[in-house]
Structure 1
Amino acid sequence: MEKQLTNPPIDRVDGRMKVTGAAQYFADFELPNMAYCVLVGSEIGRGTITNLDTKKAQGAPGVLGVFTHQNMPPIPGWDAPVGGEADGPAPKPKTEETYRILSSPKILFDGQPIALVVADSFERATYAASLVKATYAKQTARTEVEKHLADGIAPGRPGSSDYLRGKADGYQSAPVTLEANYTIPIEVHNPMELHGILAHWTGTDTLMLYAKTQGVNATQQAMAQAFKIDPKKVHVHTEFMGGGFGMGLRTWPQETAVVAVARKIGRPLKLVVTRSQMFTLVGHRPYTVQTINMGADTNGKLIGIAHAATAETASYEDFTEATVNMTKFMYDCPNVSTRYRIVRLDRSVPIWMRGPGEATGAFALESAMDEMAHKLNLDPIEFRLRNYTETDPEHNRPYSSKHLREAYQRGAEAIGWNKRTNEPGSQRDGDWLIGYGMSTGTFNAFRWEASARALLKADGSLTIQSAVTDIGPGTGTALTMIAHNVLGVPLNQIKVEYGDTSLPKAPTQGGSAIVSAVGSAVFDACTTIKKQLIELATKAGGPLAGRQDDELAIADGMLSVEKEPRRKVALSDLLRANNLTVIDKSADSKGGPELGKYSMYSFSVHFVQVRVNPLTGVVRVAKAVSVADSGRIVSPKTAASQMIGGVAGGIGMALTEEALIDHRFGRFVNNNLGDYHVAVHADVPAIETIMIDKPDPIINPMGAKGMGEIALIGFAGAVANAVFNATGQRVRDLPITPDKVMQKLA
């Protein structure tokens, strides 16, 4: 009865709600007697508040309170050592500094909240916040990574230690060598939906939250820890989210402060941060400097790679990410060493962002691979194939699946790679130089523990329940397809309920793992229902009595004998005949020990054609092809949408996005969407997506691996490589802006 299905491309199940305004985001909720709060940020990057004047703000119309370090309500869980669960979903290594919002006059970063103003309307709170005045004893703020590279320290997190396979300097013995430095600037999430929270104490120790979070269960646990209450008494709701990008992967201090103040004033309290505060209060991609040393023989076989990265973190918290990890296993190379360091600066703490550190690391590694291919006079794809590996050299075990060769081939055919010449600057179209580039991306394919509930009702409808938050990739649509494939219930009779802690527990949406994790739980719950249906149908006196499981098919709400299609029974009739109003099954799902025997990754290959104007330095991505090797594609339409979104973000990463700091003051100078340039429609060409669509036999029962991260990982490198092919000039510092191109061409 089990068959692999090629799924049809269906529309998003929540699409109509989103485009008609029926979908409610956290800020859309209005509660009786609700108050509003606005944060006042510091105007210095480091120092101490010497005077804080709040009298005018307190006397402004409608103001219910002004909270500062002098009168902030206590947060019981923050008595624990810094780095506990009250600060977020994972412990943080202790640093010399401690940051507790509104607990001290000490300023650790520009924009740090110094006051929280509460009023009976958002407009009144905003006006009153403008009346808060502070004076400071300023100190010099350290905000520049490059000036403090020597201060880099090894992180204390597991998995962040230096790595060595073979010799650390093995590349030096190679006849062809490369040394290059690559820089990624600060990049800021900037989804359409601003960050915030709505907190309502419904009792002395019962809390209702409408939050912008990528994991309602994680927020539930963080708030329970912070206020020392039973997690079951914290109810978190996040059904819709207008873009996460990583900013919702933790519970931020300002969220906890709002909950504390809501308890103090005895009213529901809503915070929506400003666009400029999105640059300082909810994380960002950390500024990172990388060095690649690479060596190969004259036949194009890698002999050694050394990859070193240094990234910024905050003075009060050590943030780390997997910047150098791809280098450890991507290519067959006997001598590989990696080193990762962090520099503590007077900046707000970074967070994982759109492809996390792998996107940062892939830019350096894949640019270096292109540079080395050019030195060897090899086609960049051919160079990668000469160093292709069928097994993971880091862990010395097989991949659960890997179809990267096919991805190279199909992407090259789609982009017209045969039109590319190895000689840079040799192709023109009128005034424009033409170049082709490609790059590989990869990300861990995870399967976390998750739960789900399935309810098949006597009217033939099916309800799927999970607490998982759908941050936009189409999780509800994917879960609908999984349930449809297992039980054959028509798509329009399946409803997915999600984004609420009252539902079965689910992991935080991040790391491209939700379809694998929650999808497996949905699969298992629906499979259990299917088994019961078969038992009811094939028992003595049943409509399909005597038939075996492998003789049956389930589709279109019917259970039938596959070779006798007229012999069938509607699932709804089967329930009614057995006096059942519903079959209700739950499943807790997780991977077994077999997962530890394999290395599990998703892979992508990005191809681009760029046009570069040598007179202006303008770079245009004229064509993009992205190929995904991520197992079975559960929902083709939303999968393609994920890849397209990754390309759009990748174009921004490659060509436009850069948060700039005036290091004299430690302040952003472009903390708005007028000066911080995200990719817009004019920057994004038609994008072709290709899915290898071959099931992974190990990771989960659907054979599906994650896709969200690989949609962006590697893309910036493809653009940089294409710019080199077009101009003969290598830009190693993102973004590739016209001034940098012109400087190289001059």
Structure 2
Amino acid sequence: LGRPVKLAVTRPQTFTAYGGRAATRQTVALGADAEGRIQSIVHRGVNETSVDGMWVEPLGSVTSIMYATPNFSSRQNVVRVNTVVPGALRAPGENPSAFGIESAIDELAYEVGIDPLEIRLRNYAEQDPEVKKPWSTRQLREAFAVGAAAFGWSKRPREPRSMRDGNQLIGWGVAAGTYPVRRAYGEAMVRILTDGSVEVESSSIDMGQGTYTILAQTAAETLGVPAENVVVKLGDSRYARAGVTGGSRLAGVMTGAVHKAATAALDELVGLAISEANSPFHALQANTLVVSEGRIRSPRGDGPDVSIAELLGSVGRSQIEAMGDTTPANWTAEDRYKNNTTIAMALPHT
């Protein structure tokens, strides 16, 4: 048409006009001993895609790592049907995969007569079952304990249909899920200004998930200034580069970049306080200083106690600026470019 077009769809059309979660069909077979310890998991699955497009909903992503088993097999097919191409919807793959294996674990618990929570603990994966490496972080056991205590799980009757609220059948269940920690490249610029305030700049965005808040908190905690003294600027391509907001990765990436930048700025601030002849701390010959609530002092509690603004004024600096990123130590500039490009181009398939 040669001009901008706006398309407005009705509420019912939102379920058919563009891709949502793919429909799946899963069969999970478990082999376990009398004590409920899983000996094998066989997972077969299929998901829909469109006639002229491709979408794979990775149904084995959680099944393969959730529980310890010496024998595991997973296979998946894709079936073309007359629908729009499915898309990424709230943990693509992980959500339906967790539904499949957790449903099977519940059936196993009742088959062998073991409490559904207890059978999950007996089969807890202490390490990644696939690669035999320790988890970077896994606190599922602790989460089970806290949840069980909060709900009074120990008092739960085991028999199905044994709990009522008047004429209503009620019940308590347990299920677990997991999501990978996805890493990406990100940068942040942190400035300590002459009035003692702080600026954080990044091209990342905040579409409601709280990026402004967490980056301000990270900078404030690292620099020892009140959070209300931190101004966060986002969403401009002129600022330091950042990855996309997707895959639950932005918070981990950008808080790391801001922490790194703020640490570098703090080191420079302390270095100026110690080394500059006009600094009130120069005569102390101290190798460390404490910065908190926007003020600088000796860790011993003696000597000057000045604000960041007063220190910058005394040494003739208008600002301190530092860049931080999440680049692994062995990455080259080409690696960073490829990583950012891959993130931008491949998001719909993650």
TM-score normalised per structure 2: 0.88
CA 1:490 to 1:350, structure 2 compared with 1: closer, same or farther past 3 Å? same
Residue 275 (structure 1) aligns with: 10
Aligned 1:63-82 pairs, distance under 5 A: 67=1
User: Which of 465, 486, 491 is equivalent to 2:222?
Assistant: 486
1:580 matched to 2:313? The reply is no
SS at match of 1:307: strand
1:428 matched to 2:185? The reply is no
- Give yes or no for contact 1:469–1:499 (8 Å, CA) kept in 2: yes
CA 1:308 to 1:591, structure 2 compared with 1: closer, same or farther past 3 Å? farther
1:360 matched to 2:99? The reply is no
- Give yes or no for contact 1:457–1:581 (8 Å, CA) kept in 2: yes
CA distance in 2, matches of 1:486, 1:524: 9
Residue 49 (structure 2) aligns with: 313
The letter for the 2-side match of 1:515 is A
CA distance in 2, matches of 1:565, 1:411: 48
Residue 29 (structure 2) aligns with: 293
CA distance in 2, matches of 1:475, 1:387: 37
CA distance in 2, matches of 1:473, 1:330: 27
Q: Deviations over 1:429-458 (max 9, x none)?
A: 211222111111111112211111112211
Q: Deviations over 1:96-152 (max 9, x none)?
A: xxxxxxxxxxxxxxxxxxxxxxxxxxxxxxxxxxxxxxxxxxxxxxxxxxxxxxxxx
CA distance in 2, matches of 1:565, 1:313: 70
CA distance in 2, matches of 1:494, 1:271: 38
- Give yes or no for contact 2:269–2:320 (8 Å, CA) kept in 1: no
Aligned 1:102-501 pairs, distance under 5 A: 261-262=2-3, 269=4, 271=6, 273-276=8-11, 277-501=13-237
- Give yes or no for contact 2:21–2:89 (8 Å, CA) kept in 1: yes
Residue 343 (structure 2) aligns with: none
Q: CA deviation at 1:412?
A: 0.5
CA distance in 2, matches of 1:292, 1:528: 51
The letter for the 1-side match of 2:314 is A
User: Which of 575, 590, 615 is equivalent to 2:327?
Assistant: 590
Residue 503 (structure 1) aligns with: 239
- Give yes or no for contact 2:47–2:57 (8 Å, CA) kept in 1: no
Answer 1 or 2: higher relative contact order, Cα 8 Å, separation at least 6: 1
Q: CA deviation at 1:502?
A: 2.3
Residue 557 (structure 1) aligns with: 294
- Give yes or no for contact 1:452–1:588 (8 Å, CA) kept in 2: yes
- Give yes or no for contact 1:447–1:591 (8 Å, CA) kept in 2: no
SS at match of 2:241: coil
SS at match of 2:174: strand
The letter for the 1-side match of 2:230 is I
Structure 1 runs (4+) deviating above 6 angstroms are none
Q: CA deviation at 1:323?
A: 2.1
The letter for the 2-side match of 1:489 is V
- Give yes or no for contact 1:544–1:568 (8 Å, CA) kept in 2: no
Q: CA deviation at 1:270?
A: 5.8
The letter for the 2-side match of 1:490 is P
CA distance in 2, matches of 1:278, 1:500: 30
1:547 matched to 2:286? The reply is yes
The letter for the 2-side match of 1:569 is V
Aligned 1:597-608 pairs, distance under 5 A: none
Structure 2 unaligned regions, length at least 5? 331-350
SS at match of 1:521: helix
Q: CA deviation at 1:565?
A: 6.9
TM-score normalised per structure 1: 0.42
The letter for the 2-side match of 1:273 is A
Identity percentage of aligned residues: 36
SS at match of 2:176: strand
Q: CA deviation at 1:534?
A: 0.6
Residue 570 (structure 1) aligns with: 307
Q: CA deviation at 1:308?
A: 1.6
CA distance in 2, matches of 1:535, 1:352: 48
Structure 1 unaligned regions, length at least 5? 1-66, 68-260, 263-268, 594-746
CA distance in 1, matches of 2:329, 2:109: 41
The letter for the 2-side match of 1:274 is V
- Give yes or no for contact 2:43–2:60 (8 Å, CA) kept in 1: yes
CA 1:310 to 1:581, structure 2 compared with 1: closer, same or farther past 3 Å? same
CA distance in 1, matches of 2:240, 2:54: 32
- Give yes or no for contact 1:446–1:513 (8 Å, CA) kept in 2: yes
Aligned 1:4-19 pairs, distance under 5 A: none
Q: CA deviation at 1:566?
A: 6.6
- Give yes or no for contact 1:447–1:590 (8 Å, CA) kept in 2: no
CA distance in 1, matches of 2:287, 2:128: 42
1:516 matched to 2:252? The reply is yes
Residue 7 (structure 1) aligns with: none
CA distance in 1, matches of 2:10, 2:208: 20
SS at match of 1:436: coil
- Give yes or no for contact 2:276–2:315 (8 Å, CA) kept in 1: no
CA 1:567 to 1:402, structure 2 compared with 1: closer, same or farther past 3 Å? farther
CA distance in 2, matches of 1:525, 1:354: 31
CA distance in 2, matches of 1:441, 1:431: 32
CA 1:565 to 1:519, structure 2 compared with 1: closer, same or farther past 3 Å? farther
CA 1:362 to 1:464, structure 2 compared with 1: closer, same or farther past 3 Å? same
CA distance in 2, matches of 1:434, 1:565: 65
CA 1:567 to 1:407, structure 2 compared with 1: closer, same or farther past 3 Å? farther
The letter for the 1-side match of 2:63 is T
The letter for the 1-side match of 2:76 is Y
SS at match of 1:329: coil
- Give yes or no for contact 1:454–1:463 (8 Å, CA) kept in 2: yes
SS at match of 1:508: coil
Q: Give the aligned length.
A: 326
The letter for the 2-side match of 1:388 is Y
CA distance in 1, matches of 2:154, 2:323: 52
Aligned 1:703-718 pairs, distance under 5 A: none
Q: Deviations over 1:463-487 (max 9, x none)?
A: 1111112232212111111111111
Aligned 1:641-652 pairs, distance under 5 A: none
Q: Deviations over 1:301-357 (max 9, x none)?
A: 101111122111122221123321111111110111111221122222111111221
CA distance in 1, matches of 2:32, 2:181: 30
Q: Deviations over 1:491-532 (max 9, x none)?
A: 111111112222221111111111111111111111111011
Q: Deviations over 1:52-86 (max 9, x none)?
A: xxxxxxxxxxxxxxx3xxxxxxxxxxxxxxxxxxx
Q: What's the C-alpha RMSD, in Å, of the aligned pairs? A: 1.8
Q: CA deviation at 1:272?
A: 5.0
CA distance in 1, matches of 2:106, 2:328: 37
